[in-house]
Each structure stands twice: as C-alpha cells, then as structure tokens.
A = this chain, B = another copy of it.
Amino acid sequence: MEKVTINSVAKHAGVSKKTVSRVLNNEPNVSDATREKVQQAFKELNYRPNPIARGLAHNRSFIIGCLYDNPSKSYITRVQSGALEACQDRNYNLLIHPCELRGEPLIDNIETLVSTSRLDGIVLTPPFSDNKELVDYLKTRNIPYARVAPVTLEDESISIKSNDTQAAYEITNLLLSLGHKEIAFIKGHPDHSATEARFDGYVKALGEQGIAVKSEFVAEGNFSYHSGEDSARQILESTTRPSAVFASNDYMAAAVLKVASQMSLKVPEELSIAGFDNAPIARHIWPGLTTIAQPVEDMTFRAVTLLIDKINAPESDDIEEVFAGKLIERESTAQLIN
C-alpha cells in the first residue's frame, strides 16, 4: 500500500496541504467548492490522517490514561468500557495503567507514565480519586485529570461522585424494614474512602431506629473475597449471631454466603445477606445477592468525556456531578422469621 498523506491529497485535489488541513479540521474559511474537492480526494484515496504526526505538531498524544488499583475485575472492566466509549467518541485512545497504591513510589510511577506516554489527561478511579499527594502532583505538573467516585478529598476538578452513604443507608433500611435488628457490617479496604462512606450509611440507618452499633457486629474486611470469609466467620461464630449481614461489596457478600453454607445456615431463611456494587457474581450465585447497582460505565464515560472537553478548553469550569446508585433486591434477603 502506497502511503496516502496530506501531500498526496493536496496534489490530487490541486490545493495546498494547508487547505487540506483546514478541511480535515473543519475549519472555516474554505470555499464550499474547495471543501468538496478535498473531501472527494479523501474518499478517492481512502485517506486517513496520521494521528502521530498530528500529535507531534499539536504536542498532543490523544491518549488518555486510566489509573486503577482495584481488586474487582468486573469493576475494572466496567470502568474501561465507559472510558473506552468516551475515547472512541472523540478519537482518543485509552491507555490502561494498573498500579499499586502501596507498591513502588506512586508519584515516580506516574511521573514515568506521563513523561514516556505523553498522556493528554488521566482519569483516576478509587482509591486514587482521593489521593491528595497524587492530585497535588498532577496539579503542579498541569496535567488534566478527572476523578471517578471520590469521597473524602475535596478538590476543584472534574469529579463524578457516587453517593455511597445514601445507598448504604437505603440497603440498611431495607433490612430494617424486613424486621432485622441484629445487622452486621463488613467494612471494605481502609485505603478506599468508599469504605467509610458506606459504613456511615449503615450507622445512620441504625441510629435513626435507635439501634446501637455493636462492635462485635462490625468486621474489618478489605473488599477481597478472602477477607469476606474471615469476617463472616468472625461474625457468624460469635455467640449472638446476627440475622442479617451487610457486606460492603459483593465479593465479600459472596464469601458470607459460602461460610453460611458451610455452617448449614439457610439463606435467606436464617440469614439475610446484602452486598454492594452489583458485580456479576451478585447474580451468578444462588441465592442472588441484594445489592446496590452503581452506574460505573456511565460515571466513567462522563468523567472521560468531561476530561477530553477540558483538555480542549482548559479555561472551562470544573464540573462536579453525582450519580445515584440503585437498590436491587434479589433472593438473599427476606423477612425475618421469628
């Protein structure tokens, strides 16, 4: 295949390459006749602009980086899918960058990423969305970024929030309305600020019913299946066993279900279980998990879209939006039987 460049097109259309460039970028100041002639040439030669050359001239890479450190593969896939869609809409590429928060020095790692890949912008997912050090670094380096689901860190930047506290409040209220009073809670990873947010919702709902939070009913998990197992044992083997467990993600909730099976506790008859996230496993196990569905794809799509807009109009205002989660009732929760 002979290379088709802006020069071939210019020659073919009998205009200068600058004019071709103008048509390419939908700039004004081209006569309709010329524009059509050039577009005709595009078609006839099957011309595709070379993004690398364009990137060099613009000093842009048209690449967005996506930073994550999350144990949930389904979460990551959903994040990617939303980010990818937003990139494709605007002719950007997506670079994925898994990275351990507690691994090698974070800032060094990101510094290398940014300078070797010349990212135009970066989208932060939990737990990075709340990482002050990182956000500060990006700010001083003047690298555009957007945050997905930040919780604790207030920051003037594109922020697409979820309302974890409200969602956890709703799911706890569901359990309360089913007659449960002894409701245990399994916390997530301490590095993720959603952990506290979800716990707050649980505490708030109990508080409104005048129910005290019992420390033996609160276990420290870390969002992993394994931690859910340990937490479930600790909770279910305590002398006063709860009638419901609210695990702050679905993996841990699935682990509670496993432990319950092993202890021959029937779910939901003898134990109600609720999760969070609506991960695939929530509907792939039996009984299916009552949980909160977060619009993860939509949130990431929005974050990346706003990020790209920002890159192209740096003066624009930073936007903060909240996307609500949705309660999904499945078979793992039921009315308390006395």
Binding site for B on A (CB under 8 A): 1, 48-53, 55-56, 61, 63, 73-74, 76-77, 80-81, 84, 91, 93-96, 98, 115-118, 141-142, 225, 251, 254-255, 257-258, 261-262, 280-281, 283-286
Contacts and interface: CB of A to CB of B under 8 A. Distances in A.
A96 B77 CA distance: 11
Given A51-B118, A77-B73, A95-B93, A255 B284 contact: yes
Contacts of A94: 95-96
A258 B280 contact: no
A51 B98 CA distance: 20
A145 to B, nearest CB: 16
Given A94-B95, A117-B93, A141 B284 contact: no
17 contacts: A48-B115, A48-B116, A50-B118, A51-B116, A51-B118, A73-B73, A73-B74, A73-B280, A93-B95, A93-B117, A94-B95, A225-B280, A251-B284, A258-B286, A261-B286, A280-B281, A281-B281
A51 B255 CA distance: 45
A147 B143 CA distance: 37
The 8 closest A-B pairs by CB, nearest first: A258-B286, A48-B115, A73-B77, A261-B286, A52-B55, A52-B56, A56-B56, A73-B74
Contacts of A261: 286
Contacts of A49: 116
Contact of A51 (B117, B281, B283): B117
Contact of A285 (B1, B73, B98, B285): B285
A139 to B, nearest CB: 13
Given A48-B115, A73-B73, A94-B96, 8 more contacts: A50-B118, A63-B93, A73-B280, A84-B96, A251-B284, A254-B284, A257-B286, A281-B281
Nearest to A112: B48
A142 B116 CA distance: 28
A203 B55 CA distance: 55
A147 to B, nearest CB: 22
A98 B73 contact: no
B285 A254 contact: yes
